[in-house]
Amino acid sequence: MIKVRQKNASDHSLITGWITWPRGDEYIAIQTRQKIQLNPENNQIVITVTNESIKQGEESITDQAEIQRYNILMLNELIDSINKLRSTATSSGAQAPYAIIDLQTGSVIAVAYLK
The predicted-structure confidence for 80-108, as pLDDT tens digits, reads as follows 887 787 777 667 665 555 444 554 433 34
**Among 40-44, 46-50, 73-77, which is the least confidently predicted range?**
40-44
What is the arithmetic mean of pLDDT over 6-33? 92
Three state DSSP letters for 54-111: EEECCEECCCHHHHHHHHHHHHHHHHHHHHHHHHHHHHHCCCCHHHHCCCCCCCEEEE
Residue 66: is it exposed, middle or buried by C-beta count within 10 angstroms (0-12/13-18/19+)?
middle
115 has a pLDDT exceeding 70: no
Please report the pLDDT score of residue 111 as a whole number.
54
Name the residue ranges covered by the structural domains of the chain.
4-56+63-89+102-113
Q: Fold for domain 4-56+63-89+102-113?
A: Alpha-D-Glucose-1,6-Bisphosphate; Chain A, domain 4 (3.30.530)
Please report the pLDDT score of residue 35 as a whole number.
94
Task: Give φ, ψ of 104 to 5 degrees.
Answer: -65, 160
